[in-house]
């Protein structure tokens, strides 16, 4: 067993760390306050090759592995989870299914622009009727001559307020299979797709939409996979992305720990630095231990993806643990900061608000526990 990162991995980490410190950290607070995402960031990411990290060079990607993808996520999240979430919704949720199940024409139409940052994607699966159960999905696609007519609603869809295209999940032929759920590639804007930007408490700079789809007509070429369902592709995509978002959570937890260490070293109460209080030092020791455990789970998960051995249950364990670590660490960070932790001038409140998104998005902690316990055949 060799647990070391390669020189290439270290180079990726250093490049993204520097980029994020220079280009994201200084504007993270402002965009969180304004609830806006600077779209020009996509071109910068594209120029650095950060939008195709996980995809092979022969498909136009940067030809790296899942471990590199997790390193990029960790470093982006360290600077801002909003920016990292925006990146993730595009580079994984919006692109992966096309790369995995798309025809040569679909790949040629969408992947080059998606990798360069010219075209931004979104992934519309969750619905107002309940995001936790995919099988409850009610958006319908009816076959019409030469294409499909789609009606329904989607909610909490990241990047949708400014996306150039969206993968839209809809039921195609329930008479063939109850979970005949397929993805359609929908070019935006489209008058039959009305997108309302939502107000959020967490990852506020990541733009999120509620979507109404009324009689949207798309051609046959918009269907990804076939009409008996892209369901297994959706499930595989979610599993792989759970390892990814666990890396995001790890980045947030590290940011909370480092802010706590800096504060504990600097803040003096009655002539004593707060880091010298054992209660504070122990909180940081627990945080550091949690982070170490999360790190090994995340990179083990990434290694399993690269080996083609990731199971849904393992992905759930990685995501469950790392996301809960980010919540615990950022909550402790607020306590360690005392009153300052509640002030917007300090980053720990924002990290905590953002961390809560990750015990919900990509499947709640309860859903992860369902997946893990189901695999135990209790």
Ligand X SMILES: Cc1cc2nc3c(=O)[nH]c(=O)nc-3n(C[C@H](O)[C@H](O)[C@H](O)COP(=O)(O)OP(=O)(O)OC[C@H]3O[C@@H](n4cnc5c(N)ncnc54)[C@H](O)[C@@H]3O)c2cc1C
Catalytically annotated residues: 362
Buried b (16+ CB within 10 A) or exposed e, 54-81: bbeeeebbbebbbbbbbbbbbbbbbbbb
**Nearer to ligand X among residue 185 and residue 291 (C-beta):** 185
Alpha-helical segments (H) within 92-220: 96-101, 104-116
From 27-35, 53-61, 130-138, 171-179, span contacting ligand X (CB under 6 A): 130-138
- Is there binding between residue 195 and ligand X (CB under 6 A)? no
Q: Which H or E run includes 193?
A: strand 193-197
Q: How far is the CB of 32 from ligand X (least distance, A)?
A: 13
Nearest 5°: phi and psi at 345? -70, -15
Q: Would you give the binding string for ligand X spanning residues 205-234, x where CB under 6 A is met?
A: ---x--------------------------
**Nearer to ligand X among residue 157 and residue 291 (C-beta):** 157
153 Cα distance to chain centroid: 21
- Is there binding between residue 245 and ligand X (CB under 6 A)? no
Question: Which residue, among 213, 203, 240, 212, has the nearest Cα to 359 in the 3D structure?
Answer: 203
What's the residue count for the chain? 378
Binding-site member from 84, 361, 368, 371 for ligand X (CB under 6 A)? 361
SS3 161: coil
Q: How far is the CB of 303 from ligand X (least distance, A)?
A: 25
Q: Are the C-beta atoms of 50 and 75 separated by less than 8 Å?
A: no
**Nearer to ligand X among residue 54 and residue 319 (C-beta):** 319
Handedness of CA 217, 220, 224, 227 (dihedral sign): positive
Residue nearest ligand X, CB atom distance = 131
SS3 359: coil
- Is there binding between residue 158 and ligand X (CB under 6 A)? yes
Q: How far is the CB of 5 from ligand X (least distance, A)?
A: 29
**Nearer to ligand X among residue 68 and residue 88 (C-beta):** 88
Task: Tell me how many degrees the CA angle 203-206-207 measures, rounded to the nearest 5.
Answer: 125
Q: How far is the CB of 10 from ligand X (least distance, A)?
A: 31
Structure tokens given for 66: 């899942």
Max Cα-Cα span within the chain: 78
**Nearer to ligand X among residue 281 and residue 356 (C-beta):** 356
- Is there binding between residue 55 and ligand X (CB under 6 A)? no
- Is there binding between residue 96 and ligand X (CB under 6 A)? no
- Is there binding between residue 203 and ligand X (CB under 6 A)? yes
Q: Are the C-beta atoms of 81 and 249 separated by less than 8 Å?
A: no
**Nearer to ligand X among residue 168 and residue 250 (C-beta):** 168
- Is there binding between residue 156 and ligand X (CB under 6 A)? yes
Q: How far is the CB of 89 from ligand X (least distance, A)?
A: 5
Positions that interact with ligand X (CB under 6 A) = 89, 93, 123-126, 130-133, 156-158, 203, 208, 357, 360-364, 366-367, 370
């Amino acid at each position: 067993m060799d647990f070391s990162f390669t020189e290439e991995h270290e180079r990726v980490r250093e490049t993204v760390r520097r980029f994020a410190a220079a280009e994201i950290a200084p504007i993270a607070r402002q965009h969180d306050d304004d609830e806006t995402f600077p779209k020009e960031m996509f071109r910068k990411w594209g120029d650095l090759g950060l939008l195709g990290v996980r995809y092979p060079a022969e498909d136009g990607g940067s030809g790296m592995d899942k471990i590199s993808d997790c390193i990029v996520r960790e470093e982006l999240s360290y600077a801002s989870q909003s920016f990292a979430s925006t990146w993730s919704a595009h580079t994984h949720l919006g692109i992966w299914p096309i790369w995995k199940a798309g025809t040569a024409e679909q790949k040629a139409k969408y992947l080059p622009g998606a990798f360069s940052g010219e075209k931004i994607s979104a992934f519309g699966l969750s619905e107002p009727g309940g995001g936790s159960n995919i099988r409850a999905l009610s958006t319908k696609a009816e076959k019409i001559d030469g294409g499909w007519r789609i009606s329904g609603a989607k909610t909490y869809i990241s990047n949708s307020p400014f996306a150039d295209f969206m993968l839209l999940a809809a039921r195609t032929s329930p008479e063939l299979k109850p979970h005949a759920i397929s993805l359609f590639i929908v070019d935006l804007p489209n008058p039959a797709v009305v997108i309302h930007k939502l107000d959020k408490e967490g990852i506020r700079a990541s733009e999120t939409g509620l979507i109404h789809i009324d009689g949207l007509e798309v051609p046959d070429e918009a269907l990804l996979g076939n009409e008996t369902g892209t369901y297994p592709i959706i499930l595989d995509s979610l599993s792989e992305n759970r390892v990814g978002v666990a890396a995001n959570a790890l980045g947030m937890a590290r940011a909370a720990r480092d802010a706590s260490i800096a504060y504990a070293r600097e803040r003096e109460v009655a002539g004593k630095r707060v880091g010298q209080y054992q209660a504070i030092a122990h909180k940081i020791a627990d945080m550091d231990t949690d982070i170490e455990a999360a790190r090994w789970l995340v990179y083990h998960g990434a290694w399993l993806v690269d080996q083609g051995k990731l199971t849904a249950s393992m992905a759930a364990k990685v995501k469950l643990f790392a996301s809960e670590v980010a919540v615990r660490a950022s909550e402790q960070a607020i306590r360690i900061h005392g009153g300052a932790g509640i002030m917007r001038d300090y980053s720990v409140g924002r990290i905590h608000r953002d961390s809560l998104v990750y015990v919900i998005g990509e499947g709640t902690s309860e859903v992860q526990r369902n997946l893990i316990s189901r695999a135990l055949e209790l």
